[in-house]
């Protein structure tokens, strides 16, 4: 067993290289990455945001980061499918842990998340955020737009999240409208994939509805995303309820008629041409999950973000 590691999340001597912890044992960080608060040498930072006070239906996404980390143990550090590589051979990644939020003062939450996100990306680290409900994307977007300018948004979701609010609400259903209104995202370069509800306003964002996605190939969807984002700096947000409840039952507002995890992972796999500057996976609510189906899908989506980044670094 000399070649095996254990508790790599806090015993690792480097932030590169695969861990070899047993899948069923060891400290749980995302993909066994070293827990660290030092981001100075990191290419990417994984960060949990355990917040669900903005939900309009079932709560529980505050437990999403824990569930996603637990599910990530299934990545047993063989070359990761479908990237055919050890993602961490040349990619330095840490698990930064979670954002500390005051559950009794939700009005402080947006600024707390935004300020910490800004700190994490200050040295150009790629931030992979684990929600939490979809409201957390709003302050994260603000931090990225402050650094990169108005962003193209690629949103995988069953909901448009374009309901109007007064700019002060803590609401997971209005952050997109707010981001358009405040110039955080450029709607002419933004696209939503998998939408299966109707909001009063589309804000000028292109929509691929659930029935569109059903009739399109993964490659067709990728081409639509590439055309829409126009080579702009892009933020990718993936609400797990984009997937049909058959593939993601553990979420707050499930909607029937969505795509499979296989199809959406195939789309993610082909987004290497995009200039993605940050990404998240949100709305995993493990209390409604079964056998970690949803958490495994969420962890795999986050792994794909890192896989695309590892490929880009290897190609330089």
Separation between Cα atoms, residue 261 and residue 270, nearest integer Å: 14
Was 157 annotated as part of a binding site? yes
**Tokens of residue 26, six digits:** 């060891």
Was 171 annotated as part of a binding site? no
Burial class (CB in 10 A: 0-12, 13-18, 19+), 227: exposed
Query: H/E element holding 312?
Result: helix 293-315
DSSP 257-268: S---HHHHHHHH
Cβ–Cβ under 8 Å, residues 312 and 140: no
Angle CA 279–283–289, to nearest 5? 130
Angle CA 95–100–105, to nearest 5? 155
Separation between Cα atoms, residue 253 and residue 17, nearest integer Å: 38
Was 241 annotated as part of a binding site? yes
Cβ–Cβ under 8 Å, residues 258 and 210: yes
**b/e sequence 169-193, b meaning 16+ C-beta within 10 Å:** ebbbbbbbbbbbbeebbbbebbbbb
ω into residue 85 within 30 of 0, thus cis? no
Was 275 annotated as part of a binding site? no
Was 124 annotated as part of a binding site? no
What residues contact residue 147 under an 8 Å CB cut-off, 6+ apart?
118, 121, 122, 277
Was 244 annotated as part of a binding site? no
Query: H/E element holding 10?
Result: helix 8-11
Which of 138, 130, 127, 132 minimizes the C-alpha distance to 161? 138
CA 98 from chain center: how many Å? 14
Task: List the binding residues for Mn(2+).
Answer: 134, 157, 159, 161, 239, 241
Task: List the binding residues.
Answer: 134, 157, 159, 161, 239, 241
């Amino acid at each position: 067993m000399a070649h095996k590691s254990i508790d790599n999340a806090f015993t690792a001597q480097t932030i590169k290289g695969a861990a070899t912890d047993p899948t069923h044992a060891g400290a749980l960080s995302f993909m066994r990455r070293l827990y660290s608060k030092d981001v100075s040498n990191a290419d990417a930072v994984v960060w949990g945001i355990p917040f669900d006070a903005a939900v309009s239906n079932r709560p529980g996404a505050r437990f999403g980061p824990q569930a996603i980390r637990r599910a990530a143990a299934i990545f047993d550090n063989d070359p990761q499918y479908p990237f055919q590589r050890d993602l961490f051979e040349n990619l330095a990644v840490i698990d930064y842990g979670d954002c500390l939020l005051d559950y009794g003062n939700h009005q402080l939450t947006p600024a707390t998340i935004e300020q910490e996100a800004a700190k994490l990306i200050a040295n150009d680290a790629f931030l992979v955020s684990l929600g939490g409900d979809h409201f957390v994307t709003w302050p994260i977007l603000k931090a990225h737009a402050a650094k990169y300018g108005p962003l193209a948004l690629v949103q995988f979701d069953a909901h448009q999240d374009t309901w109007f609010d007064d700019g002060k609400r803590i609401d997971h259903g209005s952050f997109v409208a707010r981001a358009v209104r405040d110039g955080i995202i450029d709607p002419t370069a933004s696209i939503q994939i998998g939408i299966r509800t109707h909001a009063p306003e589309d804000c000028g964002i292109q929509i691929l509805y659930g029935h569109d996605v059903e009739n399109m190939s993964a490659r067709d969807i990728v081409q639509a995303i590439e055309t829409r984002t126009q080579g702009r700096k892009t933020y990718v947000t993936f609400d797990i309820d984009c997937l049909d409840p058959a593939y993601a039952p553990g979420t707050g507002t499930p909607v029937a008629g969505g795509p499979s995890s296989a199809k959406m992972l195939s789309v993610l796999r082909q987004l290497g041409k995009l200039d993605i500057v940050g990404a998240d996976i949100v709305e995993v609510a493990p209390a409604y999950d079964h056998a970690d189906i949803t958490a495994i899908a969420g962890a795999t989506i986050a792994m794909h973000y890192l896989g695309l980044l590892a490929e880009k670094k290897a190609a330089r």
